[in-house]
Protein backbone atom coordinates (compact mmCIF):
# COMPACT_ATOMS: atom_id res chain seq x y z
CA UNK A 1 0.00 0.00 0.00
CA UNK A 2 1.24 3.46 -0.86
CA UNK A 3 0.41 6.40 1.42
CA UNK A 4 0.68 10.01 0.25
CA UNK A 5 0.23 13.26 2.15
CA UNK A 6 -1.59 15.95 0.17
CA UNK A 7 -2.30 19.57 1.02
CA UNK A 8 -6.03 20.22 0.48
CA UNK A 9 -7.67 23.63 0.03
CA UNK A 10 -4.48 25.37 -1.09
CA UNK A 11 -2.45 26.07 -4.19
CA UNK A 12 0.93 25.92 -2.49
CA UNK A 13 3.01 23.30 -0.68
CA UNK A 14 3.06 22.93 3.11
CA UNK A 15 -0.13 24.90 3.65
CA UNK A 16 -3.84 24.17 3.70
CA UNK A 17 -5.23 21.04 5.31
CA UNK A 18 -2.90 17.99 5.21
CA UNK A 19 -4.67 14.73 4.48
CA UNK A 20 -3.48 11.20 3.76
CA UNK A 21 -4.34 9.28 0.60
CA UNK A 22 -3.81 5.50 0.70
CA UNK A 23 -3.74 3.54 -2.54
CA UNK A 24 -5.00 -0.01 -1.93
CA UNK A 25 -4.35 -2.95 -4.25
CA UNK A 26 -7.15 -4.98 -2.63
CA UNK A 27 -10.13 -4.23 -0.43
CA UNK A 28 -9.47 -4.19 3.32
CA UNK A 29 -11.99 -4.19 6.20
CA UNK A 30 -13.16 -0.89 7.70
CA UNK A 31 -11.45 -1.83 10.96
CA UNK A 32 -8.10 -2.06 9.16
CA UNK A 33 -8.71 1.30 7.48
CA UNK A 34 -9.44 2.81 10.88
CA UNK A 35 -6.19 1.41 12.28
CA UNK A 36 -4.25 2.83 9.33
CA UNK A 37 -5.90 6.25 9.74
CA UNK A 38 -4.99 6.25 13.43
CA UNK A 39 -1.35 5.45 12.65
CA UNK A 40 -1.14 8.08 9.90
CA UNK A 41 -2.39 10.58 12.50
CA UNK A 42 -3.81 13.24 10.17
CA UNK A 43 -7.33 14.64 10.46
CA UNK A 44 -8.57 12.73 7.38
CA UNK A 45 -7.38 9.72 5.41
CA UNK A 46 -8.79 8.73 2.02
CA UNK A 47 -8.63 5.16 0.72
CA UNK A 48 -8.64 4.55 -3.03
CA UNK A 49 -8.82 1.08 -4.54
CA UNK A 50 -6.75 0.44 -7.66
CA UNK A 51 -7.31 -2.77 -9.60
CA UNK A 52 -5.34 -3.71 -12.71
CA UNK A 53 -4.07 -0.15 -13.02
CA UNK A 54 -7.54 1.42 -12.84
CA UNK A 55 -8.91 3.38 -9.90
CA UNK A 56 -12.45 2.59 -8.83
CA UNK A 57 -14.79 5.57 -8.82
CA UNK A 58 -15.53 5.67 -5.09
CA UNK A 59 -13.34 6.37 -2.07
CA UNK A 60 -13.65 5.75 1.66
CA UNK A 61 -12.74 8.47 4.13
CA UNK A 62 -11.70 7.96 7.75
CA UNK A 63 -10.83 10.36 10.53
CA UNK A 64 -8.52 9.23 13.30
CA UNK A 65 -11.58 7.92 15.16
CA UNK A 66 -14.55 7.43 12.78
CA UNK A 67 -15.55 6.66 9.23
CA UNK A 68 -16.64 9.82 7.42
| Domain CATH for 28 | 3.10.310.10
**67 lies in a domain?**
no
**15 lies in a domain?**
yes
Beta bridge partners of 61: 46
**25 lies in a domain?**
yes
Structure pTM? 0.80
**22 lies in a domain?**
yes
| Domain carrying residue 8 | 2-62
pLDDT tens for 5-62 read 999 889 888 888 999 999 999 999 999 999 999 999 998 999 999 988 898 867 788 7
**24 lies in a domain?**
yes
* Number of domains, the chain: 1
Catalytic residues: 44
CB 67 within 8 A of CB 46: no
Amino acid sequence: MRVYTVDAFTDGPNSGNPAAVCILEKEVPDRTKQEIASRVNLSETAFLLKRKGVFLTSADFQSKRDKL
